[in-house]
Amino acid sequence: MSNLVIPAERAARHGGPDFFKGGAKFAETFEIWGGLSSKDTVLDIGCGPGRMAIGIGERFNWENDLIGFDVIKIDADICRNVISSQHPNFKFVHVNAWNGHYNPAGTIQPYEVEFPALDNSIDFAFATSVFTHMYKREAGHYLKECYRVLKAGGRLFSTWFSITDATSQSKHARLKFSHALHDGSFTDFPDRPEEVIGFKYEDITDLFQSSGFKSVTFFQGDWSKTADRSTVRHGQDVFICTK
136-150 pLDDT, tens digit each = 999 999 999 999 999
Query: Which ranges constitute the DSSP H helices of 165-200?
Result: 165-169
85's CB contacts (< 8 A; 6+ apart) are: none
Measured CA to CA in angstroms, residue 106 lies from 84, 158, 192, 220 at distances of 24, 23, 16, 32
User: Low-confidence residues of the chain, pLDDT below 70?
Assistant: 1
Q: Which of 69, 173, 84 is nearest to 117 (CA)?
A: 69
Q: Set out the domains of the chain in order of their start, with CATH numbers.
A: 8-162+199-242 (3.40.50.150)
First to last CA, the chain: 35
Question: How far apart are the C-alpha atoms of 202 and 208, rounded to whole Å?
Answer: 10
Residue 14, pLDDT score: 86
- What does the DSSP assignment read for 97-118? B-BTTTBTT--B-GGG---SS-
Question: How far apart are the C-alpha atoms of 196 and 108, rounded to whole Å?
Answer: 21
The model scores a pTM over 0.85: yes
Question: How far apart are the C-alpha atoms of 94 and 115, rounded to whole Å?
Answer: 11
Residue 1, pLDDT score: 56
Question: What's the CA angle centered on 156, arms 153 and 159, to 5 degrees?
Answer: 160
Question: How far apart are the C-alpha atoms of 241 and 214, rounded to whole Å?
Answer: 7
Is the Cα torsion angle 84, 239, 113, 46 positive or negative in sign? negative
Q: What is the pLDDT of residues 208-233, one digit of tens each?
A: 999 999 889 999 999 999 988 778 89
- Cβ burial 142-156 (10 Å sphere, 16+ → b, else e): bbbbbbbbbeeebbb
Residue 71, pLDDT score: 97
Residue 220, pLDDT score: 96
